[in-house]
Amino acid sequence: MQLHQSYKMELDVEKIRKDFPILARLLNKKQLIYFDSAATSQCPRIVIDSIKGFYEKHNANIHRGIHKLAEESTLMYEEAHQKVADFINADFEEIIFTKNTTEALNLLAYSLLNDLKENDEIILSQMEHHSNIVPWQQLAKLKKVKINYVKVTEEGKLNLIHLKSLINEKTRIVSITHVSNLLGTINPVKEISEIAHEKNIIFIVDAAQSIPHMKVDVKDIDADFLVFSGHKMCAPTGIGVLYGKKVLLEKISPFLYGGDMIKEVTFENTRFNDLPWKFEAGTPPIAEGIALGVAVDYLNSIGMENIEEYEDKLTQYLYKKLKEQKDVKIYGPEKRSSLVSFNLYEIHPHDVATILDSEGIAIRAGHMCAMPLVKEVLNESAVCRISLYFYNTKEEIDKFILALDKVRKVFGK
C-alpha cells in the first residue's frame, strides 16, 4: 500500500477509509460507524501489515545479537524512535517507548520520587484522566505531598487565574492534559508552561488526546515531559511514548530495572545504559514500536494540518447537530478538539450506547476514566461520548442523529 502524498489539501476521506479494513465491517447487518477513537483509534492496513511483516521476516531481539535478524530488528526499532522524535520536534535521545500513556506517567511519578520532600505540592486539574491523577495520588501518600486541582469553569475551560493562585514556593510539578478526553477542551499548554517555568516548576503534558489530531511541537510548548499512546494515533496497543528534555532524563532515576537498560553489571553494582535505553528495561514491544513508526509515516503522509482542519469542520458539524436537539445536554466549550460528550435527558448513557450499538454505531458511555470530573464537577453519574477521527464523515453523523430517534422511541420520548 502506498502512503498518501502530504500537502495542503481537502482530504479524500472515501479513499482514506479504504485504508482501514475494519470500517468495511457490518454490525447487526448495518455498516459500522466507529465513534470511539478517543478510546482507541483504528489501524490502517499499512500498520497491520507492518506487524505481520516483522514477525514473518525480521523477528529477533534488539541490541543483543550480531546476526542479521537482530541487526534488522534493532535498526527498525531505532528508526521508529527517530520518526517519533521528528514527529514532535524532539531529539532521538529524548524519546522513550513505554507501554502507553499510563505507564509513561507512572514512570515519571516514580522517577521524580527522590526529588520531592514532605509538604511539597503538585498541581493537576479537575479535567484529568485517571492516569494523570492516580500515580500522583499514590506518590503524594508515599511522600506526604499535597495535590492541588485547577478548577474548571462552567464553560468547561481551565481557570488560569485559579492555576496562578495555586502556585507557591512549595510547588514542584504541574501536570496537565493538553486536550480533555471528556470535554474536548484544548488547554493553552504553552501559556501554562510559561507560568510554571517562571517559578522553575517541572511541567508535564498529557498529550494522549492531542497528538493524534494536531501538530504538537515539544520545543514550542517548552514541555519538560510529554506523554502519549500509540493506540490513539493509528498504531497498535501496547506502545506509548515518554518525551523528556535530555538534561532532565539524565538526572532522574529509572523506574524499571534490568535487561536493555543496563550498560554494565557486577555483583556489587550496576551502570545504567545511555538515553533513551536507560528507561527501556527488558525486551521492549519491538513490533509495536516499529508499527508506531509506520503510523507516524501514515499520519505525516496525510498531513497533521490537513487532519486538524478536516476534523475541526467535522466536529463543528457534530456540535451543531447535537445543539439542535432540544433534549440533549452538551458538556464543554464550543471550540474544542474532535469529541463531544453529551446526555440525552432522562435516558441513561449506557442505554443510549446499547441502542446505538444495535444500529451499528459504536460510541462510549460511562465516566471516561475521568470520574472526579463527571461526578464532582458535572454532577452526573455518566455521559455519552462521540469521538471523531479523520476517517469519519458527515454522513455518519447524520445517521447517528437519526438513530437518536430510535433511542427516544424505545423509551417513549
Query: Any idea which residues carry the catalytic annotation?
Result: 369
Whole-angstrom Cα distance, residue 260 to residue 279? 9
φ, ψ of residue 390 in degrees (nearest 5):
-70, -5
φ, ψ of residue 253 in degrees (nearest 5):
-85, 155
Grid coordinates belonging to 367 = 465516566
Q: Contact, 407 vs 357, CB < 8 A?
A: no
Strands 30-31 and 26-27: antiparallel
Quickly count helices (H) and strands (E) in the chain: 14, 17
Mention every residue, 6+ apart, whose C-beta is less than 8 A from residue 379. Answer: none
Grid coordinates belonging to 225 = 515531559
Please state whether 63 falls in left (phi above 0), alpha (psi between -120 and 50) or beta: left
Mention every residue, 6+ apart, whose C-beta is less than 8 A from residue 178. Answer: 186, 187, 189, 205, 206, 207, 209, 210, 216
Q: In a 3-state reduction of DSSP, which class is residue 403?
A: helix
Beta strands in 162-272 (DSSP E): 171-177, 202-206, 225-229, 240-244, 262-265, 270-272
Whole-angstrom Cα distance, residue 402 to residue 226? 40
Length of the chain: 413
Eight-state DSSP code of residue 318: H
Strands 240-244 and 95-98: antiparallel
Handedness of CA 71, 76, 79, 84 (dihedral sign): negative
Q: What does each C-alpha distance from 392 to 10, 18, 299, 397, 400 come to in angstroms?
A: 14, 12, 15, 8, 12
